[in-house]
Structure 1
Amino acid sequence: MMPEFEPDQQPVATLDQVSIRYGAQEALRSVTATFLPGAVGLLGPNGAGKSSLLKGLLGFVKPASGRLRVLGLDVHSSPLKIRARLGYMPESDGHIPGMNAVSFVAYCGQLSGLPRADATQRAHEVLYYVGLGEARYRNIETYSTGMKQRIKLAQALVHDPDLLFLDEPTNGMDPKGREEMLDLVTDLATRKGVNLILSSHLLPDVEETCERVIVLHQGTVATEGAIAELKQRRSQVFEIRIKGDLETFIRALEAIGAECHGAENGTMRVFVPGGLGPRDLFGVATRHQVQVRHLRPSVPTLEDVFAEAIGE
């Protein structure tokens, strides 16, 4: 049963008990999820089902069971109406050889229903917006990886969509280009009010640009909600580095209800339940003849939420 929402919070996309299979492989298993207006991150390890979920919402794959709705329309019965209102930035390149950026983006605009003159005008506008104005007459094959990412965003925006799907938008970009792309995503979601779903394996990208997140793991929803609320649900967090028997120390911490993450890099993040604090951690260390070299309080991050959700 899907929940009810206030009028201003009607979902832009929903999945209700959706399963997607490729032969014997089940990519999504009875997934129920809600994408509210704004910027929503879609996270998960490789093979978690992110791409299958996006393909299902786009109508590219037919679910074995369940129901998908996008912008209030049923994906199965109204796929063309939905696609006319969607912008899709795929992970892989898909430009047409021999075309310059203006011609390509204008062509994509026409495919989305814009008249030729309007499509050409919009192509110039969005190419300037994404930072390709000076290179808009160049052949796309001469573009760098970062420039190709930008043109994928431009073609997704040319017809002014109601909902934008971004699949790994910073893939292959250098640090400067990555920050510029994230600035564009943030601008779209905040200043321009575009609803978007950002699928990524890079947690910092999602934390920087999105208000909400859905985490997939092994074809199911591991957790979902507002990022700020998910982080607040966590217990106290401490960073700790020790000298001594690490495995014994971790087992002892887990015995008092703590969770340990990231031990492989020498500094652990330890989540302790309410009522416990630094004195308890030092007490465990003393009882097991472990020397605490570093201990300081920290704040929960999206990475902590993600690690707990997928059991790492």
Structure 2
Amino acid sequence: MRFLKASLLGSAAAFAAVGAGQAADLPVKKAAAVEYVRVCNAYGAGFFYIPGTDTCLRVSGRARFEYLYQNSGNRSGTNGDVSGYRSVARMNLDARTQTAYGTLRAFTRIEIQNRTGPYFTSGSRQREALAFPALGADAFGRAQQYVDIDKAFIQFAGITAGRASSFFDFYAHDYEFIGGTTGSDTYSTNLLAYTATLGGGLSATISAEDPTFRRFPVFGSGSNTAASPLAFNGGFAPFGSATFLSPIVVGTNQIALVDVTQKNRVPDVVGVLRLDQAWGSLQLSAASHEINGGNASFVSTSNTGGLTIASAGRAPTTYGWAVQAGGKFNL
């Protein structure tokens, strides 16, 4: 019996040893390391590959706080507020993909601000649909939320399309405190441009740009004693009116019902010649801008106040122009 037990135990040990030997011969496969974030060095610091794609992305932004104190001589309206506060949040997304025809880039910048006080809030930004005001009697004109798609453009093979800084601009979007001054920040616009690289750091650009944010009412002169009830001196009609109207005077006749809001008919045309070097950059730029009064009909009145149809037509169109030269030097 003892011999049988010893034989069985010996057999079991032999099987165990053979099994262990066979297990040792099996290949051992380690799990591949998961690369959650892969650095992209092709376009500078801060880029990483979006998982599963060949697109490099950089996420950046900033937070900013400003406080302004400016003495006020009286307390009427919002003039009694001497303090102003502004908190700014900015987010940038810069995506780039290398293609057979060059780099394809998409860039967006969103800026959101909370602004209080009469020096930081802006009625112009509200009229341009870039901000909305608080409506309470104690906060109207003194508190404002500002939301702006400052940049949203695509660049490929020399073409820039979307919302971007005007190519006319050379020194824009600095960080000056705008309270108490007219400010130096230049707002972006919608554009379609082509840039040709000429070699040696020299480039030339032609750009067609949206003039909407660079238009202002064309003001008339004279009284509106014989004008329609919809006509208002200065060209600003009440909320809800379909057209902004203003009377003007030509010769001895008063012309009423002239549409003073400019129409978006012809894009601004910008031409740029630029040189970029290690020591800095130089730029020469020029632009044209249409000034028009739309296609509004007008009527004339006599000096006696009686309304008579004299002629019909539209205000003449003219063009303005601008030239700029600038230089930057890296010290």
Q: TM-score, normalised by structure 1?
A: 0.24
Larger RCO (CA under 8 A, 6+ residues apart): 1
Q: TM-score, normalised by structure 2?
A: 0.23
From the two aligned structures, give the one with the greater strand fraction.
2
From the two aligned structures, give the one with the greater helix fraction.
1
